[in-house]
Amino acid sequence: MYSEEDINSAVAAGAISAEAASSFRDHMTRVRQLPRASEEDFRLINSFNDIFVSIGVVILLVAMSAIGSAIGWNEPASAMLGGAFVAAAAWPLSEFFTKRRRMALPSIILLLAFVGGTFAAFLGAGISIIGEGSERLGAIVGATAALIAAGAAFVHWRRFMVPITVAAGAAAVAGTIIGLIVAAIGPENSNETTLFGLMFVAGLAVFGVAMRWDISDRERITRRSDVAFWLHLLAAPMIAHPIFAMFGVTEGDDLGIGAAIGVLAVYVGFGLVALAIDRRALLVSALAYVLFALTFLFREFGAVELNFALTALVIGSALLSLSAFWQPIRRSVVGMLPADLQGKLPATQDAALAPVQASAA
Q: What is the DSSP string of 243-293?
A: HHHHTTGGG-S---HHHHHHHHHHHHHHHHHHHHHT--HHHHHTHHHHHHH
- Each residue's pLDDT, cut to its tens digit, for the chain (361 residues) gives 566 666 767 777 777 877 777 777 666 666 666 666 566 667 778 788 999 999 999 999 999 999 999 998 888 899 999 999 999 999 999 999 999 998 999 999 999 999 999 999 999 999 988 876 678 888 999 999 999 999 999 999 999 999 999 999 999 999 999 999 999 998 888 888 899 999 999 999 999 999 999 999 888 888 898 999 999 999 999 999 999 888 887 776 567 788 888 888 999 999 999 999 999 888 888 888 888 888 877 777 665 566 778 888 888 898 899 888 998 899 999 999 999 998 889 888 666 555 555 555 5
CA distance 154 to 207: 19
Q: How many CA atoms lie within 13 Å of 8's alpha carbon, on the beta-carbon side?
A: 8
- Please check whether residue 346 is in contact with residue 220, taking contact to mean a CB–CB distance below 8 angstroms: yes
Q: Please give the pLDDT value at position 18.
A: 75
Element at 71 (helix H, strand E) = helix 48-71
Largest interatomic CA distance in the chain? 75
Tell me the whole-structure pTM to 2 decimals.
0.87
Residue 343 sits at φ, ψ, to 5 deg, of: -70, -15
Q: Please give the pLDDT value at position 134.
A: 77
CA distance 234 to 327: 25
CA distance 11 to 5: 10
Q: Please give the pLDDT value at position 303.
A: 59
What's the Cα-to-Cα distance from 64 to each of 70, 78, 122, 191, 256, rounded to whole Å? 10, 12, 17, 36, 48
Q: Please give the pLDDT value at position 59.
A: 97
User: How many Cβ atoms sit within 10 Å of the Cβ of residue 209?
Assistant: 20
SS3 of residue 130 by DSSP: helix
